[in-house]
Chain A
């Protein structure tokens, strides 16, 4: 018959640190390539007076130092004082702002995830709830956040919520959606035969949920968590801007936008910091996923099944 490789460890991962380093190196190379492309475009525009070489077609983006500061200028600005007369560097200031925004986003992510999972289970249990809620859940995401954010902040001021907590609520508003939708799909993903098996064991609804539906939903959940994590950062930044909350990246972006004409590199640096924060939360969720994966040891890829 068939012989089977029986190592419970499956593929012995060859030095995970090495692989992480390789991934980081790939990321660094990608960023370097963007920088090179940026500088090349800028150099070309400078030579042709912002036209495509040899034509009279204008370039889509002008290349002067106000519109496109040199990569080196942006990098250099990071290590200059954030403001004349202050000892804190721009990088330090952005890091501090990012931490502030991260706290709001993390709270929003946590609440949004809980609400999303709750809604998914509710919709799973009661199909009337699914029919009734789903349209609203979808509509909720078409309302522009810019319009909604001040409303939430104003409501919050009438209650016990601080402005930063209101910002978290705004982040929640963006994060619950992918979690609710994907979790529902995941909870509904078990094959009919698996559900019939549970029925044949006379398993009550709650046991079917915990022992079949929730584990089946796991592959659906992490993509949703990754999306929700990055959305929570977007929500927090937009929320800060709308609410006029000081201390976070949203405020930094707003401030640097007003002084753009005298220091465009600062706004670029703030945008870069926002992107980094988004990347950071994404990597954070991915890390958690890897840990969970290791414990669950799932053979999703199938390449660990080896028969001789």
Chain B
């Protein structure tokens, strides 16, 4: 229980390592995430934040360094189904109904039909789509699809939720609404979240800690603690929120200036 959610030490990633166009995407990344923490990765495009997330999730392997997730290697954590993932595109399967999409990871894990149905109904209530289980994904709006994707990611109670700009394709109002929803779900599910974004207000609003990355090669520039207390729509107009966004913005500016 006391194991940190993520301990990344000395992570480096070089793409096309043995060719002329080798690209160093990440170098010397040290980061640890505590259980229950909400950590955002932010930085200019090309800073390797998505790459970092994918290394955490064992979708790709690091060139150097190691990642431990709950005290085990990332590859083992993946095989143990410790990860829930959500990407910018909801990535729902068109040929499955909404409930069947949520049940996909449960099917893969060998849950019985009844148990799956019960859980998908639970998850639909959690994301407030209880009446949409029998619809197909393409019958839902973008924001609703994204909520289904989050429900799917959480359906098997993963210990770690990895999200890569999940609200990037949504309009601003829907996006802010989804952020509030995500925080509620995150509190109710009691999970750990690593969240990639390039939106300063989004990072400030959601996170306990914001990791600011600098590009070429991607490094940790600074880590900003955010404490906004209980967050709701009013938080966005608060003084503390303004201070947090300012701090993140200034960190990003100094990143830009140095690169």
Contacts and interface: CB of A to CB of B under 8 A. Distances in A.
Do A and B share a complex?
Answer: yes
Interface of A: 1-2, 4-6, 8, 10, 191, 193-194, 196-203, 207, 211-212, 215, 218, 296-300, 302, 304-305, 307
Interface residues of B, number: 36
Contacts of B162: 200
B138 A8 contact: no
A305 B54 CA distance: 32
A102 to B, nearest CB: 32
A202 B81 contact: yes
Contact of B85 (A197, A300, A305): A197
A152 B162 CA distance: 57
A67 to B, nearest CB: 53
Interface string B121-158: 00000000001101110111101100000000000000
B174 interface: yes
Contacts of A211: 93, 104, 107-108
Interface in B76-105: 78-81, 83-85, 87, 89, 91, 93-95, 97, 104-105
Given A1-B141, A203-B108, A299-B138, A218 B131 contact: no
Interface in B143-194: 143-144, 162, 174, 177
A209 to B, nearest CB: 12
Interface of B: 54, 57, 59, 78-81, 83-85, 87, 89, 91, 93-95, 97, 104-105, 107-109, 131-132, 134-136, 138-141, 143-144, 162, 174, 177
A8 B133 CA distance: 10
B59 A4 contact: no
5 contacts: A6-B132, A191-B89, A200-B162, A211-B93, A215-B95
A297 B140 CA distance: 15
A199 B78 contact: yes
B70 to A, nearest CB: 15
Contacts of B177: 1
A298 B95 contact: yes
Nearest to A5: B139
B136 A297 contact: yes
A307 B79 contact: no
A149 B108 CA distance: 47
Given A10-B139, A299-B136, A197 B91 contact: yes
B95 A218 contact: yes
